[in-house]
Amino acid sequence: MARTDSPSLQALNEASGALRALLGVIISVERRFGAPQSPLELLRHIQEHPEWEWLRPLYQLIADIDHASEDELPVTEVAAIGGHASALLSGVGAPVEQAFLERYRALLQTTPEVAIAHGAALQAIRKLPPETDDEAERLHARHQWAMRCKHGRQGR
């Protein structure tokens, strides 16, 4: 199994940064409608309050990528990360996070800053290695990525 090389790791870090920037824009837009909070209060609110639950798939994906990028990842898993991220943002190609997608699409259609950050995130994701056309290998890589995330969350 091929391991990540420097270009794949760099592309993964760029994708993570673009997803973090997208998350930051979304939070900034959503905060316009809420009471002012300190950064720590906002973080706690995002993690615990039901009104922010829709955003957790993106938040969790970023945390999983950042945690996993500390390890030496197989290129197939880096490709699976790209597939997961692309599916989350587009709602195509993987199980859909419906609550996220409904709110996210509304923001995409009404908020230019979100649309710009979305485009930048997709552009960064496209720099990741492509997933294989072999369905069995693709499913295996996605399973490996899911297990890495699950075990990483248990250790945090």
Phi–psi pair at 74, nearest 5 degrees: -65, 145
Higher pLDDT among residues 12 and 49, named by residue: 12
What are the structure tokens assigned to 56, written together? 């957790």
Weakest-pLDDT range from 89-93, 114-118, 126-130, 151-155? 151-155
Query: Does the residue 150 lie in any domain?
Result: yes
pLDDT tens-digit series, residues 112-128: 999 999 999 999 999 99
Residue 49 has a pLDDT of 81
- Which of 21-25, 35-39, 52-56, 151-155 has the highest mean predicted lDDT (pLDDT)? 21-25
Chain mean pLDDT for the chain: 85
Query: Does the residue 17 lie in any domain?
Result: yes
Query: Does the residue 65 lie in any domain?
Result: yes
Residue 153 has a pLDDT of 66
Query: Does the residue 1 lie in any domain?
Result: no
Residue 136 has a pLDDT of 93
Residue 76 pLDDT > 80, yes or no?
yes
What are the structure tokens assigned to 54, written together? 């829709």
Average pLDDT over residues 66-76: 82
**Count of beta carbons in the 10 Å neighbourhood of residue 76:** 22
DSSP-assigned letter for residue 50: G
- Per-residue pLDDT band for 131 (boundaries 50, 70, 90) equals very high
* Whole-structure pTM value: 0.85
Query: Does the residue 83 lie in any domain?
Result: yes
| Structural domain count, the chain | 1
Rounded alpha-carbon distances, angstroms, from residue 127 to 8, 36, 79: 8, 37, 10
Which domain range does residue 43 map to? 6-155
What are the structure tokens assigned to 77, written together? 């898993």
Residue 1 pLDDT > 50, yes or no?
no
